[in-house]
Amino acid sequence: MSNYLTILKDCRLFTNLHEGQIAHLLNVLGAKAIAYKRDATIAIEGDKCDRLGIVLDGKIDLQNILPSGKVVTLIQFGPGEVFGEALIFSKQTEYPITILSATASTIMFIDKKEVVFLLTHHPVLLENFLGLLSDKLFLMNKKVKVLALETIRQKICDFILKEYKKQKKLKLDIPFTRKEMAELMSLQRPSLSRELINMREEGLIDFDKHTIEILDLEGIELEIL
């Protein structure tokens, strides 16, 4: 576990704790790390959630599998990110989604009783935990906003504008495959590709496999008004 202290130090749950303090807490708690292969199932919708998970290495996908068999990736988590923090204290303790290992990954789990111990004995961790819940609520509100966008183009433009704000440049580096982009926007991959081509033909953007270049920023902004 000592190999991951740098990552845990940047984890929202352990904000303002140094590596020595984190190492001591993990030793007391007996936290367990489990390695998963790519595409391995971490939790299935309906499984009981009685522990908090922290991604130590790799990436995991939180997915909604529809009755038709269609898979929608709601969000992807990487090193230092936490899941299950709300469910373990909810009356509804079953996972409402399926969690898969998008890459080979390592997850650290902390049982609910140990989380309770942390929060009742360490005020800093209690404050961090509440901050973590607030951050997740804000994130989910943003996700709901995306789902509320009516057209394929609006969803693409919203994605582009968010990346523009983060990267602060017109030629955006896109760290997702087309399939991953489509899942993030709750779209079908062919629909995404078709609309990207339409936007290029209209002079709004240009793109290749790994980048999207904004040619008409104002035009993109007008699409989601």
Partner residues linked to 35 by β-bridges: 106
Residue 197 pLDDT class (50, 70, 90 cuts): very high
Residue 211 has what pLDDT?
96
Largest CA distance in the chain: 60
All residues at 6 or more sequence positions from 37 whose CB lies less than 8 Å from its CB, including other chains: 101, 104
Residue 184 has what pLDDT?
81
Residue 168 pLDDT class (50, 70, 90 cuts): very high
How far is the C-alpha of 25 from the C-alpha of 196, rounded, in Å? 49
- Percent of the residues in the chain that have a pLDDT greater than 90, as a whole number: 62
Residue 90 has what pLDDT?
86
Q: Give tens-digit pLDDT for 120-147.
A: 989 999 999 999 988 877 766 666 665 5
Enumerate the H helices of the chain as residue ranges.
5-9, 19-29, 112-121, 123-148, 152-167, 178-184, 189-201, 217-223
Q: How far is CA 28 from CA 24, 76, 132, 159, in A?
A: 6, 30, 22, 43
At residue 107, does pLDDT exceed 80?
Answer: yes
Question: Over the range 133-151, which residues count as b (16 or more CB within 10 Å of their CB) and which as e?
Answer: eeebeeeeeeeeeeeebee
At residue 72, does pLDDT exceed 90?
Answer: no
At residue 220, does pLDDT exceed 70?
Answer: yes
The mean pLDDT of the chain is: 89
pTM for the whole thing?
Answer: 0.66
| Averaged pLDDT, 30-44 | 92
| Averaged pLDDT, 67-79 | 81
Residue closest to 196 by CA, chosen among 158, 156, 154, 160: 156
Residue 148 has what pLDDT?
60
In this structure, of 92-101, 122-131, 135-144, 166-175, the range with the lowest mean pLDDT score is: 135-144
At residue 71, does pLDDT exceed 60?
Answer: yes
Residue 105 pLDDT class (50, 70, 90 cuts): very high
Amino acid, res. 214: I
| Averaged pLDDT, 203-209 | 95
- Percent of the residues in the chain that have a pLDDT greater than 70, as a whole number: 93
Residue 109 has what pLDDT?
94
At residue 83, does pLDDT exceed 90?
Answer: yes
| Averaged pLDDT, 194-206 | 96
**DSSP string computed for 139-201:** HHHHHHHHHH--SHHHHHHHHHHHHHHHH-SSEEE--S-HHHHHHHTT--HHHHHHHHHHHHH
How far is the C-alpha of 4 from the C-alpha of 11, rounded, in Å? 11
Please, what are the domains in the chain? 2-139 (2.60.120.10), 152-223 (1.10.10.10)
Q: Are 129 and 85 spatial neighbours (Cβ–Cβ below 8 Å)?
A: yes
